[in-house]
Amino acid sequence: WVFVPVYVSSGIVTMPEYLGRRFGGERIRMYLSALSLMLSVFTKISTDLYSGALFVQVCLGWNLYLSTVLMLLVTALYTIAGGLAAVIYTDTLQTFVMIIGAVILTITAFNKIGGYTNLEQAYLAAVPSKIIPNTTCHLPRPDAMHLFRDATHGDLPWPGMTLGLTILATWYWCTDQVIVQRSLSAKNLSHAKGASIFASYLKMLPMVFIVLPGMISRALYPDSVGCVDPEECMRVCGAEVGCSNIAFPKLVIELMPSGLRGLMIAVMMAALMSSLTSIFNSSSTLFTMDIWKKHRRRASEKELLLVGRIVTVILVVISVIWIPILQSANSGQLYVYIQSVTSYLAPPVSSIFVLAVFWKRTNEAGAFWGLMVGLVVGVTRMVLEFAYPPPRCGVEDFAPSVLRSVHYLHFAIILCGLTMAVVMVISLLTPPPPPDTWVICVFQIQNLTWWSLNNPSEQDLPLQKVSTVRGIPLSPSHSFVKSFTPSLVHLPSLLLSSSGRRLSQKRPLCEDSQVLTTEDPFWARFCCVNAIILMCVNIFFYAYYA
């Protein structure tokens, strides 16, 4: 409803490309591409590889790194062979396989524990037999069944959960290449909205199929899933800091019969390979389109494919090397690791995209220096976090007080606000973007902000500076020029006749973007009604578990 119409109508292929057209120049586009690749290594590829290998290790007893290599080979096979189309089709198929397997496991787990009414009591009583004297870290949290937890001492404080996670979700769902590339592949805006609605309904399921079964696993197997003694944890899962990451596979191997156990292994592998294929595809696209083509403007399609595959292999190797660090980070809690690293690197990106879409006064200087300030502050916090990891149970914490007193979700709020402030101040102190860079219809560069979207007063501008767009040289090799090659045969007549005239909004060169953003009234209403229903369901869950 907000970001996709701007992306689609501007004709971009990658998220860094949007910022490149919105602000001009190359440095923001190059930086965002590099940051996206870095986030892919730290929060996506490495975590997917580790969790998949851990599942295979627990279920089959295989070596962690052997499991990693096996999963990589299978995933790479159909990603390289099929591209984005293969990724989308296999993701769709695997979604239904995952849901079926998760339903079976959830029903089995609830039957084992005696239903939902017994879950809370059993969870709060799940204490491991081997504990560390004079400590309380072996006890389940008393607020485990509540979403709104203490604002200062909670493991997920309610201000951070409400605002901080919203900032991270904006980055992931609205600006991350892995997700947005799916919406950009939609036939029209209604398809993109419908897909988002369907994904939102599916997003309701993890509460029932992942969170609650994980709590059941802790209740049923406190000595393994809830272990706190370093020696015991090392024996159970190979990590001294804790074994909560094995909660789901432990449930599978203990509760499921042989045939269904095989199904669940397939389900988990499908889920992880689904994520990996998307990441591989988006990472190769980012590097080839936003970095490689800047240095090799005449690179052939064959060369781009080869470079994309090589980059994917390099990212995978770095991710495998990172796995031992990930294994011991954040007390061994994989989810906390992902959210914390994202909190240190993603908020500046979220703030830049929000300002780029909604505030026309934002200029290149403000956006760039806002990103730089956000990067320095975020990386500083991340380095401190890895230098002073949370100690094991019973070990004194020597971390600086500011590190423990500011939760990572609260830090995300501060970092986002700081970046926005820097962007706005510098943008106001420097010249505004020139009016003639807002829109050039011929090259599909119009509609770069929400306010200029389908606004004739913003789009109907004189055709100027056709040799460059926001500092980017135009040539037939550019993807957005190629997409309009059939229409460019009319360019000479347009140039000759445009002196002192305005381009008509209805010229054929703009029709593609109008078709993509035009919606059938019935489906537009259908999507809006479902969006309202989804918001009501979310509000209910928030209130029920508050």
Q: Which residues contact 294 (CB under 8 A, 6 or more apart)?
A: 26, 30
Query: Is the pLDDT confidence value at 337 over 80?
Result: yes
Q: pLDDT digit string (tens) for 263-296? A: 777 777 777 777 777 777 778 878 887 788 877 7
- Determine, yes or no, domain membership for 367: yes
Average pLDDT over residues 344-369: 93
- Is 104 in a helix, a strand, or coil? helix
Mean pLDDT over 24-36 rounds to: 85
Q: Phi/psi of residue 448, each to 5°?
A: -90, -5
**pLDDT value of position 322:** 81
pLDDT reading at 384 higher than 70: yes
Backbone Cα Rg of the chain = 25
Q: What is the mean pLDDT of the chain?
A: 79
The arithmetic mean of pLDDT across residues 402-431, rounded, is: 93
pLDDT band at 81 (very low <50, low <70, confident <90, very high): low
Flag whether pLDDT at 532 surpasses 70. Answer: yes
Number of domains observed in the structure of the chain: 1
pLDDT confidence of residue 509:
38
Mean pLDDT of the region 505-527: 65
Q: How many CB atoms lie within 10 A of CB 456?
A: 11
Tell me what the mean pLDDT of segment 55-84 comes to.
73
In the structure, what pLDDT confidence band is assigned to residue 517 with cuts at 50, 70 and 90? low
State the average pLDDT over residues 15-44.
85
Q: Establish if 466 belongs to a structural domain.
A: no
Stretch among 3-17, 116-130, 197-211 having the lowest mean pLDDT? 3-17
Q: At what angle do helices 27-39 and 347-358 cross, to 10 degrees?
A: 140
In a domain, 150, yes or no: yes
More confident residue, 445 or 64: 64
At 157, is the secondary structure helix, strand, or coil? strand
Instruction: Categorize the per-residue pLDDT at 419 as very low, low, confident or very high, splitting at 50, 70 and 90.
Output: very high
Closest by Cα among 546, 104, 21 to 289: 21
Q: 513 lies in a domain?
A: no
**Residue 25 falls within a domain, yes or no?**
yes
Q: Is 493's pLDDT higher than 60?
A: no
The reported pLDDT for the residue numbered 459 is 45
Q: What is the mean predicted confidence (pLDDT) over 179-197?
A: 87
Distance CA 1, CA 179 (A): 15
Mean pLDDT of 493-511: 38
* Residue 321: exposure state from Cβ atoms within 10 A (0-12, 13-18, ≥19): exposed
Distance CA 412, CA 414 (A): 5
Give 434-479 pLDDT, tens digit per residue.
Answer: 664 444 443 434 568 887 775 544 443 433 344 444 444 444 444 4
- What pLDDT sits at residue 422? 96
**Helix spans in 221-346 (H):** 222-225, 230-237, 247-255, 258-287, 293-295, 301-328, 334-345
Token pair 């229409």 in the structure block, residue: 487
- In a 10 Å sphere around its CB, with 0-12 CB exposed, 13-18 middle and 19+ buried, how is residue 508 labelled? exposed
Question: Above 90 in pLDDT, residue 309?
Answer: no
State the Cα–Cα distance between residues 182 and 88, nearest whole angstrom: 8
**Greater confidence, 275 or 187?**
187
User: Which tens digits make up the pLDDT trace of 9-25?
Assistant: 887 888 888 888 888 87
pLDDT at 70 over 90: no
Q: Which helix (H) or strand (E) holds 375?
A: helix 364-387
Which range among 46-55, 155-164, 183-192 shows the weakest confidence by mean pLDDT? 46-55
Q: Tell me, what's the pLDDT at 260?
A: 80
Note whether residue 409 is domain-resident: yes
Which H helix or E strand runs over 468? Answer: strand 468-469
pLDDT of res. 348: 95
What CATH number is given to the structural domain containing 204?
1.20.1730.10
Give the DSSP per-residue string, 28-46.
HHHHHHHHHHHHIIIIIIH
Full domain range(s) for residue 191: 3-432+524-544
Tell me, what's the pLDDT at 455? 59
Q: Is residue 496 part of a domain?
A: no
Is 499's pLDDT higher than 70? no
- The most distant pair of C-alpha atoms in the chain lies apart, rounded to whole Å, by 86
Q: How far is CA 222 from CA 117, 120, 231, 443, in A?
A: 19, 14, 15, 61
Residues 6+ apart with CB under 8 A from 424: 355, 359, 362, 366
pLDDT classification of 516: cutoffs 50, 70, 90: low
